[in-house]
Chains A and B, each alone.
Chain A
Amino acid sequence: MRFKKICTQHIGKKNCHTLAFYKKQGGYKQAASALKKWDPDDLIEEVKASNLRGRGGAGFPTGVKWAFVPKDSKKPKYLVVNADESEPGTFKDRLIMEKNPHILLEGIIICCKAVAIEHAYIYIRGEFVFATERLQQAIDEAYKAGILGNNCLRSGIKIDVTIHRGAGAYICGEETGMLTSLEGYRGEPKLKPPFPAVEGVFGCPTVVNNVETLANLPFILEVGAKAYRSIGPEKSPGPKLFCVSGHVEKPGTFELPMGIPLRTLIDKHAGGVWKGRKLKAVIPGGTSAHVLTAAECDVAMDIESLAAAGTMLGSAGIIVMDDSTCMVDALLNVMRFYHHESCGQCTPCREGTGWLEKIVQRIAHGEGRMEDLDLVHDVCDRMLGKTICALADAAAFPAQSIVTKFSDDFVAAIENGGSPAWKRRHLSTVGGGASHG
């Protein structure tokens, strides 16, 4: 079927975040049909058949995840919506929550019906104050209109939704870290298994889904799994929000079919590389993804194609860097981020991210040695796959690929006394000090 925008088609119109507006566009019809007509097992089968893949980063098939939840469990079941959008370069969920919050609530209702869940928590990052307000308004509207509550849309089914604000920790975007944080503890991830579907928040079966994933559900029910699957590549189909930032003329969020060529996304939709400069590197899926060189950018933006290109779609946060960028500085920035955000539970991650930052910093600051390049790889090898969660891997991937693919920048910084930007700043500080002295 033809591609259609589902999350962003009305953005920019007046009151697009309100219930009245959403209902006028046919909103909550699919929720009503899910609540009243659909059998839970059929709903799960439909979502499985649509091949909807999680939009948070891992790309796990949503219907399969739901099917893992044990049906005979006597414990209550929970849905935790991952709205802790913190992957650098990603800003799509905030857009949905600020401009189209009811599509998320409708998705929540559909998921709750499919898995027999009575309480959903939306774990939203603490910094998103405006998005939290908008979402709370939408929830209040929905309760008042009888869409949420003890008798959702007069179906006799009970669904409660509670917003839970985070407080500034990247690690809480990792699903087990998020659940620990929701329970009121430091957001430290837990070992899997047990998987959240079996033993998640409060020791109960829990579905964890990303905001954008849930926002796809009303559309899947509207057009049917088969039609949905025909949008984009069959293995990772559907409309997708792509976030483009960095050195482009028009950064922004673009809703396009999965599988759009990366070049088209950058050149056509984001207005091309800024200031007429040339492309140097692209991070295609948030900073946790392997970097692509300009020559590698002829790739389709879907899960399989990017995996084949040695990187990942991740959260579809595309960061573009022009030819004036020093990759040593770029990597230093990324390594500082992961060092800052490591929760400190696992030694390889806590120490490894620190070492990576230190090593890259000394290269950037003119104290690097040629052996440091091998040392980066050595540290990465000691981190990959050796920790509870994937943060260590997320730090090691960009370190490995940037050092390998842009070794010229690193060699130049080692040989010439630091990265160009650092030398500029350092010299100007020294000069400034002298003139004041």
Chain B
Amino acid sequence: MRWPSSRVSTSSLANWTGRITLAQTLCFSREAMKQYKWFLTRYPTRRAALLPTLRLAEQQFGELGVAEMRYVADLMKIPPAAVFGVVTFYTHYRRAGTGKFHLQVCSTLSCALRGSEDVVTRISERLGIGPGETSECGLFSLSKVECLGSCDTAPMLQCNDDYHEGLTLEDVDQLIEQLRAEASEGGNG
């Protein structure tokens, strides 16, 4: 089976991702490649390793834009459109253009009953962005997400990998300050 080579223009999709990088410039590190090969040994089909490999690409490249998806498609010999279809089906992959800190506020019933809307409003006020937006400095993205399975500590949010639970509005302020400090300490990295 053949699929279009990486050189085919992706400009129409580039608008969707807000970023143009050629897939050819991307490459897994030796360590990541080893990890990928290990994934292949854990499943009877190569296709089954797609979700873990996308996670690996997310980790390696920081996000999953068109170029990253194309790289995974080429690596795994899966049609790019199929990879695109999979990535866009799921909500938890880090899409291109997401801020350094992705604040995902759980907004489903148990959290909503205990004030998740106030948490969203507070973050919006502090950062000047609404749900679905990224701050101009590129540091913060805000999303309202569905149940994160931590209803006993509502309201709560997930920032990148970490859960922040039982939030008061003061906790929200503190978290934002802490993340800002972390970002300025870490420099551009």
- Write the residues of chain A forming the contact surface with B, with a CB cutoff of 8 angstroms: 76, 85-91, 93-94, 125-130, 160, 162, 164-170, 181-187, 202, 243-247, 251-253, 283, 287, 317, 319, 321, 325, 329-330, 333-334, 337, 340-341, 343
Contacts and interface: CB of A to CB of B under 8 A. Distances in A.
Interface stretch (B19-27, B29-37, B149-157): B149-157
B158 to A, nearest CB: 6
Contacts of A329: 112
Given A88-B108, A130-B163, A202-B45, A185 B86 contact: yes
Contacts, number: 138
Contacts of A129: 161-162
Given A165-B55, A184-B45, A319-B110, A245 B151 contact: yes
B75 interface: no
Nearest to A204: B44
Contacts of B52: 164-165
B93 interface: yes
The 3 A-B pairs at the shortest CB distance, nearest first, are namely: A168-B92, A245-B151, A167-B90
A281 B91 CA distance: 31
Given A129-B161, A184-B50, A337 B146 contact: yes
Contacts of A283: 109
B55 A94 contact: no
A228 B45 CA distance: 40
Contacts of A253: 152
A125 B92 CA distance: 10
Given A127-B92, A167-B91, A245 B149 contact: no
25 contacts: A86-B146, A88-B110, A88-B146, A90-B149, A90-B151, A91-B150, A93-B149, A127-B92, A128-B149, A162-B43, A164-B52, A165-B55, A166-B90, A167-B54, A167-B91, A168-B91, A168-B145, A183-B47, A184-B45, A186-B86, A202-B45, A246-B151, A251-B151, A325-B113, A337-B147
A167 B51 contact: yes
B42 interface: yes
Given A166-B90, A340-B146, 8 more contacts: A86-B146, A88-B151, A91-B152, A167-B91, A181-B51, A184-B47, A287-B108, A337-B147
Contacts of A170: 146-147
Contacts of B149: 85-86, 90-91, 93-94, 125, 127-128
A245 B154 contact: yes
B15 to A, nearest CB: 23
B108 A187 contact: no
